[in-house]
Structure 1
Amino acid sequence: MSDESNENSTGLFTQIEDIKIADVSDTRLEGFESEDEFNALSVELLIEVGSYICVAGSILPGQTGRWNRNQAILGGHLVRLYKLISALLDQVCQRRREITFIIARLTFECIVNLRFLIRHSKNPEIFDSYVAYSFKQEKRLHNRISENIEKRDGDILPVEKRMLASIARAVNMSEMNLDNLSPSKPKEWGNKNLYQRAEEIGLHKVYLGTFGGPSAAVHGNWMDLLEMHLESEDETEGFTPSLTWTHPRPQIADTTALLAVDAVKDYFQLLFEEDSEFFDDRLDDLFHRIHRAMEAHEAFLINSKAL
């Protein structure tokens, strides 16, 4: 690395060393007597993960202090991931299980996309495809506005002028050509749907539980209503509303933390390559502590005969 990189890395190492490490010692775990204590631990672990993500998402190129477009796509995903984790923490602490499912699903998709993009970081076509896919709605809107203007013989409403200018500005900032964008193509960016992207980075086995299942909460499917928003004491006696929030359990936060650790580890490896050992060691330790907390929680459930 250059002298400037070494200087920046020194400050970065200090930030990493200042991150508070969650205690997952046997002594602490053996003293837990309720699931609330495991929830509190999951919050501590997720805060620790979020701290790494916040640091990683704040790293800017030394020469310019600005990301280029493709770097911004990766960095933007990190910022989004940090905010989603912050939102998940908020809902866990407010004991709102219903919303944690929704946020966890969004977080999983963000992690999959980030890791997929990191894997293809040297392929500009993947990034172009991601941006083109993202502009499908804007292209559709641009076409609709243009058609309406044409029907009025070129008369442009003030709101249309602002909207067209906004679309043009976003397209230009994204290094794309509006004429080359389509309202229907690409069908999937990177020529893969989310499951296929998850499969490529080895997350297909957790797809059902972390994305497929929580989709019911996002869309308000019957299973979400049945589990979260309705009550029924007997299978044949009908339903009543359930207006109280259900309490979250540690599994959602812990699983999100595990997946996020791998994502931020990938990012550090991309930035620092052979110099990533400093980050790898700490993130591996964090990964194992999260896994230890999950194992202890499962043992607690078995011993207490809780569901």
Structure 2
Amino acid sequence: MSLQGYVNIPDRKWIDAFINNYSLKHFDRVLPKEVIAWLTSNSKKTWALSPKHKFGREIAQATLEAQQAGAPADDPDEILRRLAAMMRNEKIDGVQLKKYGHKSDIVYKLDGEKKPRTLRRDSFARQLRRMVAKSQPSGKASKLSAPSNGGFPDIQPVAVDREVINRFSSNEQLMKLAHDLLIETISYVTLAAGLQILDSDWPRETAVLVGNMVRLSKLLISVRILAEGKSAEMLALTVPLAIESVVDLKYLISNFNSGLIDSYVESPKKREQDAELDWASLDLKRKAQAVGFGEIYTHALQDAASHLHGSWKDLTEYHLTNVGDEHYRAKLAWTEPNLRPLVTTSMLALVVTQSFADVVASGPLVEELQKRIADLFGRLRMVDDGLDKFLYKRW
């Protein structure tokens, strides 16, 4: 049949045209799920962000999961780790994982071939950087959305074994575990912050909660980056900001009413007669005590201002070396971070994420999210207990 006079329309375009012509609101209500999955996996937007590779589709999925977990878009190790997990769990037909380690090549074997193949980390990293550079965002933020079919994102739990922790011989081993658990925490916090998705935008009252949740997720990502850079100095500034966001959000959720939200949004011209409704009258200590975080305030926030604004305590702890007789030298080296703030911040973030999800959404996705959070909280507690035992052994 001659194709003269016909116009080629990309796959998703003709779907949109069909929807618009018949005044349909959602394409996922008129197409089989298999077709939706095919369109999504073959969308130009997804492929444009992925290197042209034989595992292109799997790399696209791994890239999305890594970004949702807070990893930089050009981090090859986060993507390769997820790709290796797919091979190990036999999620890629005809591919067997032979060897993989952190920051190393992936050695795999295809069914029917005798010799293994190698996906080289260095060349993959270069290709990934080029592709990311070509697809720099135009300034529009993207919303994380729950899958339209109600499925839960593929967030892999970090394995925690109490006996393995007890055999740890270095702080670096515990720090690596705490860092991985923080990444998993960020995944759930970011997922919760994007629970609004399909029907409508938030009214101002709920937007206050959502905005604070998004702020918390971004602060946690900053904490992760600084922990990777082994910068205790900058963590001393950022961790208190994240914990303060947790306290604020927990207080807003626990005392949610229009008067409190109004006082939060509007510039305070004068104090309300009922101080409970006046956000400006609430200092951080009072909010922390009101939501059961009084002890956290004492240990994590009470001295935060000395680091944020600078003080002699901050200088002598991080930036000067005491050589005796009231004499000091400049300390230019960065200080190794303590993992306790990472674990504490992760646990607090999960507590408030549970509270947030309870008030803004419902359904199977939220139920699964709550189960995952409870499981992760238990693993973080094991690490916290393991740290106490580790420090006791060293002492």
TM-score bracket for the superposition, by shorter chain length? 0.7 to 0.9
Rounded Cα–Cα distance in structure 2 between residues aligned with 1:302 and 1:282:
31
Of 185, 200, 203 in structure 1, the residue corresponding to residue 290 of structure 2 is 200
Give deviations 1:2-42, integer Å, cap 9, x for gaps: xx9xx9977586335x2121111124323422101111111
Structure 1 residue aligned with 2:311: 221
Is 1:23 aligned with 2:159? yes
Distance in 1 between the 2:150 and 2:349 partners? 20
The correspondence for 1:271, drawn from 355, 360, 373, is 360
**Aligned residue type for 2:291:** I
Question: Is 1:127 matched up with 2:261?
Answer: yes
Q: For 1:224 and 1:212, locate their aligned partners in 2 and report how far apart those are by CA, in whole Å.
A: 14
Pairing of 1:67-146 with structure 2 (within 5 A): 67-121=202-256, 123-132=257-266, 135=267
Aligned amino acid, residue 342 of structure 2: A
Q: Which residue, out of 195, 209, 217, partners 2:299?
A: 209
Q: Report the counterpart of residue 292 of structure 1 in structure 2.
A: 382
Higher strand share: 2
Q: Deviations over 1:108-135 (max 9, x none)?
A: 11011111111123x1110001012xx3
The answer to whether 1:254 aligns with 2:378 is: no
Between the aligned partners of 2:151 and 2:383, the Cα distance in structure 1 is 27
| Distance in 2 separating the partners of 1:113 and 1:12 | 33
Cα shift at 1:281: 2.4
Post-superposition shift, 1:98? Answer: 0.5
Native 8 Å contact 1:229 1:243 kept in 2:
yes
C-alpha deviation, 1:283, in angstroms: 1.4
Distance 1:131 1:28 in 2: 48
Contact persistence 1:46–1:253 (CA under 8 A): yes
For the residues of structure 2 that align with 1:70 and 1:216, how far apart are their CA atoms? 34
Q: Which residue of 190, 196, 199 corresponds with 1:54?
A: 190
* Structure 2 unaligned residues grouped into runs of 5+: 1-25, 30-144
Alignment partner, residue 111 of structure 2: none
CA contact (8 A) 1:85 1:107 kept: yes
| Rounded Cα–Cα distance in structure 2 between residues aligned with 1:259 and 1:80 | 15
Query: 2:362 and 2:303 mapped to 1: Cα distance?
Result: 36
Distance 1:219 1:190 in 2: 21
Q: CA deviation at 1:227?
A: 0.8
Q: CA deviation at 1:241?
A: 1.1
Alpha carbons 2:166, 2:390 under 8 Å: kept: no
- Whether contact under 8 Å (1:81, 1:110) holds in the other structure is yes
Give the structure-1-normalised TM-score: 0.74
TM-score using structure 2 length: 0.58
The one-letter amino acid paired with 1:14 is G
Mapping of residues 232-247 of structure 1, within 5 Å: 232-234=322-324, 236-247=325-336
Q: Tell me how far apart the structure 2 counterparts of residues 222 and 14 of structure 1 sit (CA, whole Å).
A: 52
Q: Secondary structure at the match of 1:220?
A: coil
Corresponding residue for residue 173 of structure 1: none
Secondary structure in 2 matching 1:281: helix
Distance 1:13 1:52 in 2: 16
> What does residue 44 of structure 1 align with?
180
Letter in 1 for 2:196: L
- State whether residues 209 and 249 of structure 2, in contact with CA within 8 Å, keep that contact through their aligned partners in structure 1: yes
Change (3 A) 1:272 1:68: closer
Q: Which runs of 5+ in 1 are unaligned?
A: 137-181
Give yes or no for contact 2:158–2:180 (8 Å, CA) kept in 1.
yes
One-letter amino acid of the structure 2 residue matched with residue 297 of structure 1: L
8 Å contact 1:101–1:252 — kept in the other structure?
Answer: no
Cα pair 2:231 2:336 within 8 Å, conserved: yes
